[in-house]
Amino acid sequence: MELPPRDEPGREAWRMFRIMSEFTMGFDVLAQLRPAVTVFGSARVDEDKPAYQLAREIGRQLGEAGFSIVTGGGPGLMEAANRGAMDAGARSAGLNIRLPEEQEANPYQTLSLNFRYFFVRKVMLVKYATAFVLLPGGYGTLDEFFETITLMQTGKIRRFPMLLAGPDYWPGLTDWIDEVLIERQLIADGDRELFQIVNEPEEVVRIVRDAHEMHGPGVDNVSLA
């Protein structure tokens, strides 16, 4: 028996509505969290590792300084940052993504959103951020790092702090950027100023607070217009 043709226009229309609904959900919820700091990091770091303790302490100190925390919602360093915010009694959101493995929502989110589409989730991770903290991570974390600094480089979002925490993790990458990308003039010298390595949670808080005071409250980081 011949199968009826698939209703591709109808499927695409429903996909469009699902995308719109995810944007609407994100806008409605995350606008309540200003000022917020987005923390990126690996899902594969256990609680007994120094990077976990660093992420938790950064989340706690930022929370005590009056900032909400936004993460990808998963385990590992995302969990640690949400947990630190909870230690401080601060609000934090987890922007969870449906994946076949690894991604399970951590229990320390005061707000939990679930996304089907990676690109919608990425917009939400960026849009309401006063600053970005990058902790050790794999492909996903590096993707978020390079995509965010590309948005800054091209003027699509404001140049808010991009802080690489975990000083024993990042020097190889930053050396390559200096010795290859800049030396070969594949990026401009000034592009190196889009991010910096930080050593202590107190340094993170100071930089984030100074930037927030300079830009003022309620500033969106990205416009979809």
**Angle, CA 192 vertex, CA 189 and CA 197 arms, to 5°:** 155
* Confidence bin at 89 (pLDDT 50/70/90): very high
Q: What is the CATH number of the domain that holds 61?
A: 3.40.50.450
Q: pLDDT > 90: what percent of the chain?
A: 82
Domain of 106, in residue numbers: 10-215
- The answer to whether position 2 is within a domain reads no
pLDDT tens, residue by residue, 151-165:
999 999 999 999 999
Determine contact, residues 80/52, Cβ cutoff 8 Å. yes
Which single residue is written with the structure tokens 């011949």?
A: 2
Q: Is the pLDDT of residue 225 over 50?
A: no
Instruction: Please indicate, yes or no, if residue 188 is contained in any of the structural domains.
Output: yes
Burial category of 72 from C-beta neighbours within 10 Å (exposed 0-12, middle 13-18, buried 19 and up):
buried
Whole-model pTM: value is 0.90
CA 54/CA 69 separation, integer angstroms:
15
In a domain, 222, yes or no: no
Domain presence at residue 169: yes
- Write out pLDDT tens, residues 19-40: 999 999 999 999 999 999 999 9
In a domain, 153, yes or no: yes
Would 30 be classed as within a structural domain? yes
Q: What is the mean pLDDT of residues 102-125?
A: 91
Is 5 inside any structural domain?
no
Provide the domain count of the chain.
1
* Tokens, residue 221: 């980081």
SS3 of 196, please?
A: strand
Domain assignment present for residue 60? The answer is yes
